[in-house]
Amino acid sequence: MNTFGQLLRVTTFGESHGPAIGCVIDGCPPGIAISPEDFAHDLARRATGRTRHTSARHEADEVEILSGVYEGKTTGTPIALLIRNTDARSKDYANIAAQFRPGHADYTYWQKYGARDPRGGGRSSARETTMRVSAAVIAKKWLAEKYGVSVRGHLAQIGDVLPRTFDVAAIETNPFFWPDAGQVSELESFMDALRKSGDSVGARIVVVADGVPPGWGEPVYGKLDAELAAAMMSINAVKGVEIGDGFASVAQKGSEHRDEATRGGFLSNHAGGILGGISSGQRIVVSVAFKPTSSLRLPVRGLDVDGNEVEIVVTGRHDPCVGIRATPICEAMLALVLMDQALRHRAQCGEVGEVSPRIPPGKPG
Amino acid sequence: MNTFGQLLRVTTFGESHGPAIGCVIDGCPPGIAISPEDFAHDLARRATGRTRHTSARHEADEVEILSGVYEGKTTGTPIALLIRNTDARSKDYANIAAQFRPGHADYTYWQKYGARDPRGGGRSSARETTMRVSAAVIAKKWLAEKYGVSVRGHLAQIGDVLPRTFDVAAIETNPFFWPDAGQVSELESFMDALRKSGDSVGARIVVVADGVPPGWGEPVYGKLDAELAAAMMSINAVKGVEIGDGFASVAQKGSEHRDEATRGGFLSNHAGGILGGISSGQRIVVSVAFKPTSSLRLPVRGLDVDGNEVEIVVTGRHDPCVGIRATPICEAMLALVLMDQALRHRAQCGEVGEVSPRIPPGKPG
Amino acid sequence: MNTFGQLLRVTTFGESHGPAIGCVIDGCPPGIAISPEDFAHDLARRATGRTRHTSARHEADEVEILSGVYEGKTTGTPIALLIRNTDARSKDYANIAAQFRPGHADYTYWQKYGARDPRGGGRSSARETTMRVSAAVIAKKWLAEKYGVSVRGHLAQIGDVLPRTFDVAAIETNPFFWPDAGQVSELESFMDALRKSGDSVGARIVVVADGVPPGWGEPVYGKLDAELAAAMMSINAVKGVEIGDGFASVAQKGSEHRDEATRGGFLSNHAGGILGGISSGQRIVVSVAFKPTSSLRLPVRGLDVDGNEVEIVVTGRHDPCVGIRATPICEAMLALVLMDQALRHRAQCGEVGEVSPRIPPGKPG
Amino acid sequence: MNTFGQLLRVTTFGESHGPAIGCVIDGCPPGIAISPEDFAHDLARRATGRTRHTSARHEADEVEILSGVYEGKTTGTPIALLIRNTDARSKDYANIAAQFRPGHADYTYWQKYGARDPRGGGRSSARETTMRVSAAVIAKKWLAEKYGVSVRGHLAQIGDVLPRTFDVAAIETNPFFWPDAGQVSELESFMDALRKSGDSVGARIVVVADGVPPGWGEPVYGKLDAELAAAMMSINAVKGVEIGDGFASVAQKGSEHRDEATRGGFLSNHAGGILGGISSGQRIVVSVAFKPTSSLRLPVRGLDVDGNEVEIVVTGRHDPCVGIRATPICEAMLALVLMDQALRHRAQCGEVGEVSPRIPPGKPG
- B166 interfaces chain C, CB cutoff of 8 Å: no
For residues B94 and C275, give the distance between their C-alpha atoms in angstroms, rounded to a whole number. Answer: 53
Q: Which residues does chain D have within 8 Å of residue B343's beta carbon, measured at their own beta carbons?
A: 347-348, 350
Task: Chain C: give the shortest CA distance to residue B166, in Å.
Answer: 42
D140 is in an annotated binding site: no
Q: How many CA atoms lie within 13 A of D168 on its CB side?
A: 6
Answer whether D229 sits within 8 Å of C225, measured CB to CB: no
For residues D201 and D191, give the distance between their C-alpha atoms in angstroms, rounded to a whole number. Answer: 9
Residues contacting residue B57 through CB under 8 Å, at least 6 positions apart = B48, B49, B87, B317
pLDDT of residue D260: 97
pLDDT of residue A185: 95
For residues B245 and A239, give the distance between their C-alpha atoms in angstroms, rounded to a whole number. Answer: 7
Which residues of B fall in the annotated binding site for NADP(+)? Answer: 46, 52
Task: Chain D: give the shortest CA distance to residue B21, in Å.
Answer: 24
Q: pLDDT band at residue B77, thresholds of 50, 70 and 90?
A: very high
Answer whether B29 sits within 8 Å of D76, measured CB to CB: no
- Please tell me which of the candidates B30, B76, B80 has its beta carbon nearest to residue C14: B80
Q: pLDDT band at residue B50, thresholds of 50, 70 and 90?
A: low
Residue from D9, D75, D124 whose CB has the most chain A CBs within 10 Å, to mutate: D75
- Mean pLDDT for chain B overall: 93
Answer whether D231 sits within 8 Å of C227, measured CB to CB: no
Task: Chain B: give the shortest CA distance to residue D330, in Å.
Answer: 24
For residues D135 and D126, give the distance between their C-alpha atoms in angstroms, rounded to a whole number. Answer: 15
pLDDT of residue D59: 60
pLDDT of residue B150: 98
Angle between helix axes D224-233 and D327-349 (nearest 10 degrees) is: 150
Task: Chain B: give the shortest CA distance to residue D42, in Å.
Answer: 25
pLDDT digits (tens, 9 = 90+) for A69-127: 999 999 999 999 999 998 656 566 666 789 999 999 999 999 999 999 988 889 999 99
> A355 in a domain, yes or no?
no
Decide: C42 and C27 in contact? Cβ < 8 Å. Answer: no
Residue from D112, D259, D285, D322 whose CB has the most chain C CBs within 10 Å, to mutate: D112
Q: CA-CA distances (angstroms) from residue A365 to A245, B1, B82, B108, B290?
A: 9, 29, 41, 18, 19
For residues B76 and B69, give the distance between their C-alpha atoms in angstroms, rounded to a whole number. Answer: 8
Q: Is the sign of the CA dihedral D333, D334, D335, D338 positive or negative? A: positive
Decide: C164 and C183 in contact? Cβ < 8 Å. Answer: yes
Q: Is B152 helix (H, G, I), strand (E, B) or coil?
A: strand
D291 is in an annotated binding site: yes
pLDDT of residue B96: 74
Spatial CA neighbour of A64 closest among A41, A83, A79: A83
pLDDT digits (tens, 9 = 90+) for B220-277: 999 999 999 999 999 999 999 999 999 999 999 999 999 999 999 999 999 999 999 9
> A358 in a domain, yes or no?
no
Q: Which residues does chain B have within 8 Å of residue A160's beta carbon, measured at their own beta carbons?
A: 251
- Tell which wins on pLDDT, B114 or A90: B114
Task: Chain C: give the shortest CA distance to residue A247, in Å.
Answer: 29
**DSSP summary character for residue A253:** B
Residue from C67, C348, C355 whose CB has the most chain A CBs within 10 Å, to mutate: C348
Question: What's the domain range around A153?
Answer: 3-349
What was the ipTM of the complex prediction? 0.96
Answer whether A349 sits within 8 Å of C28, measured CB to CB: no
Decide: C114 and D215 in contact? Cβ < 8 Å. Answer: no
Answer whether A103 sits within 8 Å of B221, measured CB to CB: no
Q: Are strands A64-65 and A79-84 parallel, antiparallel or unpaired?
A: antiparallel
For residues B44 and B63, give the distance between their C-alpha atoms in angstroms, rounded to a whole number. Answer: 12
Residue numbers of D between 187 and 246 with CB closer than 8 Å to C: 199-204, 213-223, 225-234, 236, 238-246
pLDDT of residue B119: 87
Q: What angle do CA A292, A298, A304 make, to 5 degrees?
A: 95
pLDDT of residue D60: 66
Q: How many CB pairs under 8 A join B and C?
A: 139
Give me the number of domains chain B comprises: 1
pLDDT digits (tens, 9 = 90+) for A265-320: 999 999 999 999 999 999 999 999 999 999 899 999 999 999 999 999 988 767 88
Q: Are strands C79-84 and C265-266 parallel, antiparallel or unpaired?
A: unpaired
Q: How many CB pairs under 8 A join C and D?
A: 396
| Whether the predicted pLDDT of C302 surpasses 80 | yes
Q: Which residues does chain C have within 8 Å of residue D223's beta carbon, measured at their own beta carbons?
A: 233-234
Q: What are phi and psi of D34, to 5 degrees?
A: -140, 135
pLDDT of residue C91: 62
Answer whether A346 sits within 8 Å of C344, measured CB to CB: no
| Whether the predicted pLDDT of D316 surpasses 80 | no
Q: Is A74 helix (H, G, I), strand (E, B) or coil?
A: strand
The lowest-confidence range among A37-51, A337-351, B59-73, B338-352 is A37-51
In DSSP terms, A69 is beta-bridged to A74
Q: pLDDT band at residue D317, thresholds of 50, 70 and 90?
A: low
Q: Which residues does chain C have within 8 Å of residue D127's beta carbon, measured at their own beta carbons?
A: none
Spatial CA neighbour of C225 closest among C236, C211, C209, C239: C209
| Whether the predicted pLDDT of C48 surpasses 80 | no
- B94 interfaces chain C, CB cutoff of 8 Å: no
> B160 in a domain, yes or no?
yes
pLDDT of residue D92: 60
pLDDT of residue A1: 87
Residue from D10, D28, D77 whose CB has the most chain A CBs within 10 Å, to mutate: D77
Q: How many CB atoms lie within 10 A of CB C160?
A: 11
Averaged pLDDT for residues D4-25: 97
- B132 interfaces chain A, CB cutoff of 8 Å: no
| % of chain A at pLDDT higher than 70 | 94
Answer whether C347 sits within 8 Å of A351, measured CB to CB: no
D189 is in an annotated binding site: no
Query: What type of residue sits at position B95?
Result: N
Question: For chain B, how long is the longest CA-to-CA vector?
Answer: 68
> D73 in a domain, yes or no?
yes
Decide: B141 and B70 in contact? Cβ < 8 Å. Answer: no
pLDDT digits (tens, 9 = 90+) for A3-16: 999 999 999 999 99
Task: Chain D: give the shortest CA distance to residue C79, in Å.
Answer: 19
Spatial CA neighbour of D317 closest among D59, D41, D19: D59
Cα nearest neighbour of B353 on chain D: D30
Reading phi first (left if > 0) and then psi (alpha if -120 to 50, else beta), residue D223 is in beta
- Tell which wins on pLDDT, B59 or D311: D311
Residue numbers of D between 327 and 346 with CB closer than 8 Å to B: 343-344, 346
Q: How many CA atoms lie within 13 A of C327 on its CB side?
A: 24
Q: Is B79 helix (H, G, I), strand (E, B) or coil?
A: strand
Residue numbers of C between 50 and 89 with CB closer than 8 Å to D: none
| % of chain C at pLDDT higher than 90 | 85
Q: pLDDT band at residue D11, thresholds of 50, 70 and 90?
A: very high
> C365 in a domain, yes or no?
no
Neighbours of chain A (3+ CB pairs under 8 A): B, C, D
pLDDT digits (tens, 9 = 90+) for D320-333: 898 999 999 999 99
Looking at residue A301, which CATH number applies to its domain?
3.60.150.10
For residues C7 and B114, give the distance between their C-alpha atoms in angstroms, rounded to a whole number. Answer: 19
Q: pLDDT band at residue B122, thresholds of 50, 70 and 90?
A: very high
- Please tell me which of the candidates C111, C160, C242 has its beta carbon nearest to residue D214: C111
Q: Which residues does chain D have within 8 Å of residue C272's beta carbon, measured at their own beta carbons?
A: 239
pLDDT digits (tens, 9 = 90+) for B301-319: 999 999 999 999 988 767 8
Answer whether B27 sits within 8 Å of D348, measured CB to CB: yes
> B359 in a domain, yes or no?
no
pLDDT digits (tens, 9 = 90+) for C94-151: 667 899 999 999 999 999 999 999 888 899 999 999 999 999 999 999 999 999 999 9
> D363 in a domain, yes or no?
no
> D354 in a domain, yes or no?
no
Reading phi first (left if > 0) and then psi (alpha if -120 to 50, else beta), residue D322 is in alpha
Q: pLDDT band at residue B68, thresholds of 50, 70 and 90?
A: very high
| Whether the predicted pLDDT of B350 surpasses 80 | yes
D237 is in an annotated binding site: yes
Query: What type of residue sits at position A248?
Result: A
Decide: A232 and B229 in contact? Cβ < 8 Å. Answer: yes
Residues contacting residue C218 through CB under 8 Å, at least 6 positions apart = C224, C277, C278, C341, C344, D1
- Tell which wins on pLDDT, D365 or B263: B263
Dihedral angle of Cα D102, D106, D108, D113, to the nearest 10 degrees: -170
Question: For chain C, how long is the longest CA-to-CA vector?
Answer: 68
Q: pLDDT band at residue D318, thresholds of 50, 70 and 90?
A: confident
Residues contacting residue B194 through CB under 8 Å, at least 6 positions apart = B159, B200, B201, B320, B321
- A254 interfaces chain C, CB cutoff of 8 Å: no
Q: Are strands D150-158 and D79-84 parallel, antiparallel or unpaired?
A: unpaired
Decide: C22 and C358 in contact? Cβ < 8 Å. Answer: no
Task: Chain D: give the shortest CA distance to residue A304, in Å.
Answer: 19
For A308-333, letters b (16+ CB in 10 Å) and e give: eebebbbebbbbbbbbbbbbbbbbbb
